[in-house]
Structure 1
Amino acid sequence: MSATAGFSGDVLVLIARLIADPAVLERGGLEARLDAASAALEAQGLRIAAAAMLDFCGDTLQIALPDGDPAVLRRVLDEHFSPADLLVSTREIEVPRLFVSDMDSTAIEQECIDELADFAGLKEQVSAITERAMEGELDFVSALTERVKLLAGLGEDTVATCLAERIRPTAGARTLIATLKARGCHTVLVTGGFHHFADPVAEQIGFDHVVANRLGVAGGKLTGALVGGITDSAVKRQVLLEEAERLGDNVATLAIGDGANDVPMLQAASWGIAYRAKPKARDAADGWIDRGDLTAVLHLLGIPREDWVAG
Structure 2
Amino acid sequence: MIKLVVLDLDNVIIDGEAIDEIGKLMGVEDKIINLTKRAMEGEIDFKESLEERVKLLKGARIDDIKKLAQTLPLMEGAKETIKYLKGKGCKVATITGSFDLIADIIGEKLNLDYIICNKLHHKNGLLTGEVSGPLVEKTKYDILKELLEEEGFSFDECVAVGDGANDISMLESAKLGIAFNAKPIVKEKADIIVEEKNLKCIIPFIEELEESNNITLEEALDKKSEYEDKLSATLKERDELNNKAKEKKELRDELNNKAKEALGLAIKFRDKRNEINKMVEENKRLRDETNKKIRELKWSPFRRKRLKLEKEIRKIDKIIETQVLDMKKENELVNRANDLRKELAKIKEDEKTMAESLELKKLSEKYHENVVKLSNEAQEYHEKMLEQFQKTDEIRAQADEAHNEFVKFMKLASKKHEESKKIMEEIKQVNKQIKAIKSKMGEIEAAKTHKREIIERKKAEEIYKLFKDGKKLTKDELLLLQRYKIV
The interval holding the TM-score normalised by the smaller chain is: 0.5 to 0.7
Alignment partners' CA distance in 1, 2:92 and 2:137:
18
Matched position secondary structure for 1:231 = helix
Unaligned runs of 5+ in 2: 209-487
**From 53, 56, 60, the counterpart of 1:150:** 56
Q: Give the number of equivalent residue pairs.
A: 207
1:243 equivalent to 2:151? Answer: no
2:186 maps to 1:277: no
Structure-to-structure mapping, 1:219-238, within 5 angstroms: 219-226=124-131, 228-232=132-136, 234-238=138-142
Does 1:99 pair with 2:39? no
SS in 2 for 1:141: helix
Structure with the bigger percentage of helix: 2
Greater mean deviation of Cα atoms: 125-134 or 236-245:
236-245
Deviation, 1:299, is 1.6
Deviations 1:260-303 (A, max 9, x none): 01000101100000000001111111001112511111122237
Residue 135 (structure 1) aligns with: 41
Cα deviation code 1:57-85 (max 9, x no counterpart): xxxxxxxxxxxxxxxxxxxxxxxxxxxxx
1:142-221 paired onto structure 2 within 5 Å: 142-165=48-71, 167-221=72-126
Distance 1:97 1:149, change over 3 A: same
SS at match of 1:217: strand
Within 2, Cα distance between the matches of 1:201 and 1:187? 13
Deviations, residues 128-176 of structure 1 (Å, cap 9, x unaligned): 11000000001111111011001111111120232233x1111111111
The TM-score with structure 2 as length reference comes to 0.41
Q: Deviations over 1:181-228 (max 9, x none)?
A: 1111111111101010001111112211111111011011110111x4
Residue in structure 2 matched with residue 33 of structure 1 by the alignment? none
TM-score scaled to structure 1, two decimals? 0.63
Secondary structure of residue in 1 paired with 2:10: helix
| Paired AA for residue 203 in structure 2 | L
Q: After TM superposition, give the deviation of residue 112 of structure 1 in Å.
A: 0.6
Amino acid at match of 1:219: N
CA distance in 2, matches of 1:292, 1:194: 23
Aligned pair 1:291/2:196, yes or no?
Answer: yes
Structure 2 residue identity aligned to 1:229: G
Alpha carbons of 1:197 and 1:292: their partners in 2 closer, same or farther (altered >3 Å)? closer
- The 2-side partners of 1:184 and 1:153 are apart by 42
Residue by residue over 1:82-132, the C-alpha shift from the partner in whole angstroms, topping out at 9 and shown as x without a partner, is xxxxxxxxxxxx5x1011111001111010110001011111111011000
SS at match of 2:12: helix
- Give the residue type in structure 1 aligned to 2:24: D
Q: Is the 8 A contact 1:233 1:263 kept in 2?
A: no
- The root-mean-square deviation of aligned C-alpha atoms, in Å, is 1.7
The answer to whether the 8 Å contact 2:163/2:180 transfers is yes
> 1:233·1:265 contact (CA, 8 Å) conserved in 2?
no
Return the index of the structure with the highest Cα Rg. Answer: 2
| Cα distance, 1:242 vs structure 2 | 2.2
- How far apart in 2 are the matches of 1:248 and 1:163? 32
Identity of aligned residues (%): 35
Hey, what's the Cα distance between the residues in 1 that align with 2:25 and 2:118?
Answer: 20
| Contact persistence 1:233–1:261 (CA under 8 A) | no
Give the structure with the higher percent strand: 1
Alignment of 1:38-53 (within 5 A): none
The ranges of structure 1 where at least 4 consecutive aligned residues each deviate by more than 3 angstroms after the TM superposition are 232-235, 246-251
Q: Secondary structure of 1:119's match?
A: helix
The one-letter amino acid paired with 1:204 is K
User: Contact conserved, 1:174 with 1:206, CA < 8 A, in 2?
Assistant: no
Shift of 1:230: 4.4
Contact 1:97 1:247 survives alignment (8 Å):
no
Cα pair 2:139 2:166 within 8 Å, conserved: no
Distance of aligned partners of 1:233 and 1:219 in 2 relative to their CA distance in 1, 3 Å threshold: closer
* Matching residue of 1:74: none
Displacement of 1:229 in angstroms is 3.2
**Match among 109, 130, 134 for residue 15 of structure 2:** 109
Q: Choose between structure 1 and 2 for higher RCO, CA contacts under 8 A separated by at least 6 residues.
A: 1
SS where residue 207 of structure 2 aligns?
A: coil
